[in-house]
């Protein structure tokens, strides 16, 4: 009797090899991001849906009684792929908060910090790591967050709502780096006064990172956040860590070489001794 070996599925072997190779590459990429995380000199956190559980602009809109209207504007802007600055302007135009309303909202609203962020920031501070809050939200809403986390006001990069002399809404400061998105380049102009102030020409979270690296000579900066504007910050950030503890955005998850849903994962990873891998 002649035994004839049946052919193995041609597709089966390549799929197995490809999957194994892909998993290995993915694991190596994650480990590289972990190593960068552990040696970061500065860490920049997004605020809305990252450091905080909610979206500040949505909460403010609801307080003003225009929550649904602002949500509709947001959906329309996103579907049309509007640039961040245009979408922000459209939402603010619907809200038009005056100074008194903004202050009242801040006074009655307690920041809803994401579980584990206090401990993580505390651990980073104990290591001597500089922590920044980099947000497309509003500075007035983020100041209480920074205070709770022990982060210096000077380490907040966010947007500023403008008011006229009567305290009425008068637009927003378009000179803020976070008032737009997309630019990875930043040019610095040093003023002639003794304070040696720096002025950035470009905008977006990538430009914030570039500014920090040029101004403070950080060798390693990490960006942590849930959104596309966070993911686009690397480079110039040396690493981007996607966060899905409050909301999972599949596009961001796909772009992140390391994606976590619990801040304890990041905190515990700081205890890892890289020398053990050598």
Q: Provide the terminal-to-terminal Cα distance of the chain, rounded to the nearest Å.
A: 57
Active-site position among 46, 226, 230, 238: 46
Is 274 tagged catalytic?
Answer: no
Cα separation of 265 and 12, whole Å?
35
Q: Contacts from 266-270 at CB under 8 Å and sequence distance 24+?
A: 266/37, 266/120, 266/224, 266/241, 267/116, 267/119, 267/120, 267/123, 269/34, 269/37, 269/38, 270/37, 270/38, 270/123, 270/124, 270/127
Please check whether residue 216 is in contact with residue 23, taking contact to mean a CB–CB distance below 8 angstroms: no
Active-site position among 48, 226, 230, 238: 48
CB atoms under 10 Å from CB of 262, counted, come to: 15
> 207, 204, 226: which is closest to 215 by C-alpha?
207
Cα distances (Å, whole numbers) of residue 53 to 4, 56, 166, 169, 236: 63, 9, 33, 27, 27
Cα separation of 102 and 63, whole Å?
10
Alpha-carbon torsion 173, 66, 250, 42, what sign?
Answer: positive
> 267, 264, 269, 240: which is closest to 254 by C-alpha?
240
Is 46 tagged catalytic?
Answer: yes
CB atoms under 10 Å from CB of 201, counted, come to: 13
Please check whether residue 32 is in contact with residue 257, taking contact to mean a CB–CB distance below 8 angstroms: yes
Burial 58-81 (b: 16+ CB within 10 A, else e): bbbbebbebeeebeebbeebeeee
Residues marked active site are found at 46, 48
């Amino acid at each position: 009797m002649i035994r004839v070996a049946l052919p193995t599925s041609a597709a089966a072997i390549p799929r197995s090899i490809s999957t194994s190779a892909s998993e290995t590459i993915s694991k190596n990429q994650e480990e590289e991001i972990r190593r960068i995380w552990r040696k970061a000199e500065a860490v920049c956190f997004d605020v809305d849906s990252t450091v905080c559980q909610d979206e500040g602009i949505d909460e403010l809109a609801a307080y003003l009684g225009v929550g649904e209207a602002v949500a509709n504007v947001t959906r329309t802007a996103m579907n049309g792929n509007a640039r961040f600055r245009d979408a922000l302007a459209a939402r603010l135009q619907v809200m038009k908060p005056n100074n008194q309303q903004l202050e009242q909202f801040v006074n009655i609203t307690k920041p809803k910090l994401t579980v584990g962020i206090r401990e993580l920031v505390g651990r980073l501070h104990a290591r001597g790591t500089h922590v920044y809050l980099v947000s497309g939200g509003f500075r007035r809403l983020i100041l209480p967050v920074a205070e709770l986390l022990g982060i210096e006001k000077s380490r907040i990069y966010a947007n500023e709502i403008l008011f006229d002399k009567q305290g009425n809404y008068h637009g927003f400061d378009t000179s803020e780096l976070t008032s737009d998105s997309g630019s990875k380049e930043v040019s610095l102009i040093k003023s002639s006064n003794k304070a040696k102030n720096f002025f950035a020409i470009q905008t977006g979270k990538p430009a914030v990172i570039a500014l920090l690296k040029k101004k403070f000579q950080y060798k390693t900066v990490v960006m942590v956040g849930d959104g596309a504007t966070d993911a686009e910050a690397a480079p110039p950030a040396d690493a981007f860590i996607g966060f899905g503890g409050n909301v999972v955005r599949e596009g961001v998850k796909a772009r992140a070489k390391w994606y976590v849903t619990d801040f304890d994962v990041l905190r515990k990873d700081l205890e890892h001794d890289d020398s053990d891998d050598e």
